[in-house]
Amino acid sequence: MILHRHCPLCKSSDLSGLALDTRRRGPHISRVKCENCGLVFANPMADAQELEKYYTEYYEKDHYQAVDYKDLI
Ligand SMILES: [Zn+2]
């Protein structure tokens, strides 16, 4: 997990909470907005190890398997 204290674009520390998805499993469930430049980004942000785990384990078993997307493509 990477917790940003500053905006990755303009480096401002003026960040405010924007959205939180409490139903979704996996990384990227919270968003913050930079009040200086307007960038909205996931924070905390998943690191490479978390993304690898998510895409190899949860991704296939979460929403997409429920709709049998593999049968559609
Ligand atoms: Zn910014």
- State the distance from the centre of ligand 1 to the C-alpha of 47, rounded, in angstroms: 20
Report the separation in Å between the CA atom of 24 and the middle of ligand 1, taken as the mean of its atom positions: 26
Q: Compute, in angstroms, the gap from residue 18 CA to the centroid of ligand 1.
A: 14
Q: Give residue 14 CA to ligand 1 midpoint distance, Å.
A: 8
Share above pLDDT 70 across residues of the chain, in percent, rounded to a whole number: 73
Question: For residue 59, what are the domain limits?
Answer: 15-72
Number of domains in the chain: 1
| 6 part of a folded domain | no
Q: Ligand 1 mean position to 70 CA, how many Å?
A: 39
Mean pLDDT lowest among 30-34, 52-56, 64-68: 64-68
User: How many helical (H) and strand (E) elements, i.e. helices and strands, does the chain have?
Assistant: 4, 3
Query: Where does residue 42 rank: exposed (0-12), middle (13-18), buried (19+ CB within 10 A)?
Result: middle
Block residue for tokens 């905006």: 7
pTM (2 decimals)? 0.71
In-domain check, residue 1: no
Q: Over the stretch 4-39, which tens digit does the pLDDT of each residue have?
A: 999 999 999 999 999 988 777 667 789 999 999 999
CA angle 4, 29, 44 (to 5 degrees): 15
8 Å CB contact between 46 and 54: yes
